[in-house]
Amino acid sequence: MALRTLEGLLRRIYKTNKTLGPLIGKMEHDAKLKDLSGIFTYFKDVRNRIAHPEKISIKLEAESTFQMTKRLIGEVLDKIKI
C-alpha cells in the first residue's frame, strides 16, 4: 500500500493516470523533483519484486518501506509546496 501511495502522489502532482515508470520519467525532467527520481526508481523495483503472489515481505522490510515512504512523501511535499 505504501508503494502505491507514492504512485498516487505522483499521479496527483502530474494530473495523470500513468503508471509509475512514465511518472518517474516525468520526474527526471522536473527541476523540483529530479533529484528524487532515483529513490522512486528504487521503490518501483521493490514494488515489482513484492507484487509476485508468492512473495511476502518480512516485518522488518515492511516497516522499513513504510518509514522510508513517509519520509519521501514529506520531501516531495516540501519541494512542491502543496
Domains: count for the chain: 1
> What digits encode the pLDDT tens for the residues 39-71?
999 988 888 887 777 777 788 888 988 999 999
Q: What are phi and psi of 5, to 5 degrees?
A: -65, -40
- Sequence-separated contacts (24+) of 55-58 with Cβ below 8 Å: none
512514465: which residue's cell? 22
The residue segments making up the domain with residue 32 are 2-80
Does pLDDT of 36 surpass 80?
Answer: yes
